[in-house]
Structure 1
C-alpha cells in the first residue's frame, strides 16, 4: 500500500549524495501512452534548432528502464535521486493522463523500495505546447494558475511519498534562453523585455505553489518546497578596482539574485532595478523594462522557499564595460559588464564550462550572507566546504549521458555512457562511477 512508503524526515538527517536528471532529457517516449506535446518536442523538431537536428524523442529511453537505472543508483550507494515530472505527460490537455501518473507512481515506489529519497522537480523546461500556443507561455500571467493546477495534482498524487519538491529548475535559462535569445524552447526573441516578463511570472508562480503547499498539504504530508537556481560565480578582474568589484556583483545579481532576492528578501536586487531603469530611460522609455512587484506581492513572495537549490558549473572573471544604450535593448547589455576566463583553468571539454572550485566556495558564502544562510541543496554539480554554509546534499549531474538541449548529444555529462546508436540504449560505467562511489563511501564513514 502507498502509505507504507511514508518518509518521516523530510530534512536530510545526514549529508545526502545523489544524482539528477530531467524528464525531457532522459525519458524518451515523447508520444507514448497519452503524453502531450511539450515546447521542447516542437522546438527540437525544427530544423537547425539543435546540433545535428537531434531530438529527445527517445533519448535514453528512461521511460522504459526505471528498474535498470535505479539498479545503477543502488550500485553507487546513493541516498537520493532528483528527477522532474513532465507536465505534458500527466496533464497533456488539462485532463489527467492515467498512464503518465502511473509511470511516476512506479518510479517513486521503486526508489523508496530501494531506500532512495525522491527529490522531485515540477518544472524542468517542458511546458505543454498547448499553453505556449494559446497564451504565449511564460509571457502570460495565466501560466501562474495553470502551473498551480499542475503542482496541485502532483502534491495530491505523489505527496504522500515525495517530501522534497523543487518548483522550478534554473528559471534563468527558461527566461533568457527561451524568451530573450531564443536558443531554447519556445525560441522567442523578445530582447530587453521577454526574459524579465517570463521571470516575473515564474517567481509569482513559485510563490503561489509554495503557499498552496503550505496551506493545503504541509500539515498532512510533512514535506518541504524550494527552488533550484543557476548560480555561476563572478570574480572581479581587478579586486582593487571598485568598478570591477561592482560589475562582478552585478553578474551574480543578474542571475542568482534575480530570483533569489525576491524569494528571500522580498524584491529584485536594487542594482537590477537601478541599471534597467537607467537603460530604459536612455532608450526613451517612460517606465522600466523590469516589471515591479506591488507591496502585497513582495510580502506574499518573501520567504517562500524552505531550501535553496543551487546548480553551479563554472566561474567568470568580470570587468566593467559601458555598453551604449542606443543599442537595441537586451538583458546582456543591461548589465554593463564583460566576462573573461583564465586560460589556466581546467577545461573539461565544454566551451562554456571551466572547473573553478574556489568560485563555488565564494558563491556559497555569498548565499549565506545575502539570504540568511538558507538550507542549501546542491542540485547540479558543486563541492562542500567548511565555512558554516548550510549545505545538506550534493546531486551529481547527471546519472546518464542524455539530450543536452541545443547541443543535442554532443556533450556527455553522465556518470554512465549511453550508446545512443544502439536501439537498446545500453549504459556503460565511466571512471567517474568508481570515483564518485569512493567519495560517497569515504564521507559516509567520516560522518558516522
Structure 2
C-alpha cells in the first residue's frame, strides 16, 4: 500500500486518506486506553476535605468570563468524584487496558504539605484504582496535571525551587498508598504548558505574565521536582512495587517551511530544541540543549542582563535529573511549519524573542474546533522516530492524542483523526521497529478544557453539562474505538 512518510524533516503536506491506513493488526501486547485529568472531570472541588487548588482560586477570585471562553469552571465538571463507577463501567465496555488519570494534589494533601493527609481523598483513589484493576484496566497515574495547591502557589509555586521538596513529599505519600495498584506513573504532565501558559502568558492558572523569564524558572523547578520524585520511587519503592516513572512531554513535529532553505531548517531545529527537547534533553541527555543555553544567554546580554535569564543547572543537578525516566510518555496533537525570522533588535528580552521563529499550520491540514489543533498524523510517526533516535527510551507510550469539535454525537472528524494517528503509530511499530506499547486517547469523555471551558469537547463520550446528573452518551467515535480495541484492526478487515 502507499504510505507517505519522511525519514528526514521535509515537507510532506498531504492528508491521510483511507488508502494510507495501515491494514495490519496491532500486536497483542499493545495497550489501548483513554485519558482524563482530575480538575477537568472530578468536580467536588471543596468536598470531603479537599483543599483549594490554583484553578479553584484562579476562577473563583477572578471574573471567569475573562479567563474562560464560556465563563465556566471545574467545580462540578463531569462529577466523576461521585460517578466514578459509571466511568469505570464505560472504560470496561470500551475494552481498554489502560486508563490515564491524575490525582488531585489537594484531595490528598489539602494545603499541599505533608502535615495532614486527607484519608477521604486517599480512599477515593484507592476505590477507583481497585475497581480499575478488578476490571482488567491498568491505571496510568499522573501526579500533577496543572492543579497546584494554592497554599504552595502563594509562596512561589513553580518559581520556588523548594517546591521540588514538597512535590517529592507528595509523591512519596502517593507511592506509599497507591503503589500496589499502580505500575505506570507520570510525574508532571506537559510542564511546557504549565510554564508557558501559567507563568509567561497568563492564560492558565496561576495567571502570571512573567514573559521575560518566568517560563524558564518554572522549567528549572519542574525538572528538579520530577527528578526528586523519580528518585524517591527508585530508592524507596521500585524494588517492592516494580513500577515505572516518567515525565510527561508534549511534542509536535517542526517542519521547515522551505526544506531547501538552511535558515528555515535551522529555525525548525531550534523550535524543536527549545520546545520538546528543552524538557527531554535534561532527562535523557543531561542539561538544556546547547542552542537554548547559548541563545538565551546572548539575548539576555543584549538586554543588559549581567546573567542569563535561563537558570543554569549545577553539575549535581544535571546528574540528579539525567536518566530519570523508565519510559517515554509523550502527548502529540499536531505539527507546525516553521519559518526563520531575523532577530528582533531593541525589544525587551522575553521568551518569544528568544525563540524567534514563525510557526503555523499548513492550510491543507484539517482544522479542529480548537484554533491550535490541526491534523497531521504523518508528523507523529516522524517525531516518534526522532525521539527514539535521540533518547533511546526503550518504551514509548502516547499519553494524549485527540480531536476537538462542537459536540456532535456523530463525530466523524474524531474517528478520522484517531484512525490516522493510530495508523501512524502502527507504522512506527511494524515498519520502524519502535517499541510503542500504548495509546491513551484524549479524552474518555467531554470535560473542562481550561481556557475554552466546555466549548471545544474532546470526548469519546458526550457529557450533558446542563443535566445535574451529567448524563453520559456514547458518540460514534466511542463505538469505532471499541471495535478497534476488540479487533485490533483500524479497518473493516485486516491481514
Q: TM-score surpassing 0.5?
A: yes
User: Where do 4+ consecutive residues of structure 1 move more than 2 Å?
Assistant: 444-448
Task: Please list every run of 5 or more consecutive structure 1 residues that lacks an aligned counterpart in the other structure.
Answer: 1-11
Separation of aligned partners in 1, 2:28 and 2:159: 40
Q: For the structure 1 residues 423 and 269, does the alpha-carbon distance in structure 2 shift closer, same or farther, using more than 3 Å as the test?
A: same
Q: TM-score, normalised by structure 1?
A: 0.95
Give the aligned partner of residue 45 of structure 2.
Answer: 30
Question: Residue 171 of structure 2 corresponds to which residue in structure 1?
Answer: 151
2: CA distance, partners of 1:264 / 1:231:
15
Deviation of 1:354 after TM superposition, in Å, equals 0.4
Q: Which of residues 95, 100, 103 is equivalent to 1:77?
A: 95
Query: How far off is 1:265 after superposition?
Result: 0.3
Shift of 1:325: 4.0
Task: Tell me the equivalent position of 2:273.
Answer: 253
Deviation at 1:183, TM superposition (A): 0.4
Give CA-to-partner distance per residue, 1:304-354, whole Å, 9 cap, x none: 000111101011100101241422222221112101221111112221100
Name which of 233, 244, 249 aligns with 1:224: 244
Contact 1:35–1:89 (8 Å) recurs in 2: yes
Deviations 1:243-291 (A, max 9, x none): 1111111111122101110000011011111211111111111211111
Task: Name the structure 1 match of 2:371.
Answer: 351
Query: TM-score, normalized by length of structure 2?
Result: 0.86
Paired residues of 1:180 and 1:330 also in contact (CA < 8 A):
no
Task: Name structure 2 gaps, 5 residues minimum.
Answer: 1-26, 402-420
User: 3-state DSSP class of the match of 1:227?
Assistant: strand
1:273 partner SS: helix
Partner of 1:8: none
| Deviation digits for residues 10-65 of structure 1 (CA, Å, limit 9, x no counterpart) | xx981100000000000000010000000000112211111122100000000001
Structure 1 segment 341-420 matched on structure 2, within 5 A: 341-381=361-401, 382-383=421-422, 384=425, 385=428, 386-420=431-465
How far apart, in 1, do the equivalents of 2:361 and 2:281 lie?
Answer: 27
**SS in structure 1 opposite 2:34?**
strand
Tell me which moved more, 218-227 or 12-21: 12-21
Quick one: structure 1 residues 189 and 116, their matched pair in 2 at CA, closer, same or farther if it must change by over 3 Å? same
Aligned counterparts of 1:13 and 1:443: Cα–Cα separation in 2:
8
> Residues 420-435 of structure 1 correspond to what in structure 2 (within 5 A)?
420-435=465-480
Query: Aligned-pair distance for 1:444?
Result: 7.1
* Partners of 2:373 and 2:325 in 1: CA distance: 28
CA RMSD of aligned residues (A): 1.6
SS of alignment partner, residue 159 of structure 1: helix
**Deviation larger for 404-413 or 89-98:** 89-98
Aligned partner of 2:153 among 121, 128, 132: 132
Residue 377 of structure 1 aligns to a residue whose secondary structure is: strand
From the superposition, tell whether residues 321 and 100 of structure 1 become closer, same or farther in structure 2 (CA, over 3 Å): same
The residue that corresponds to 1:119 in the other structure is 140
What's the CA shift for 1:223? 0.6
How far, CA to CA, are the matches of 2:129 and 2:94 in structure 1?
A: 18
Which moves more between the two structures, 12-21 or 282-291? 12-21
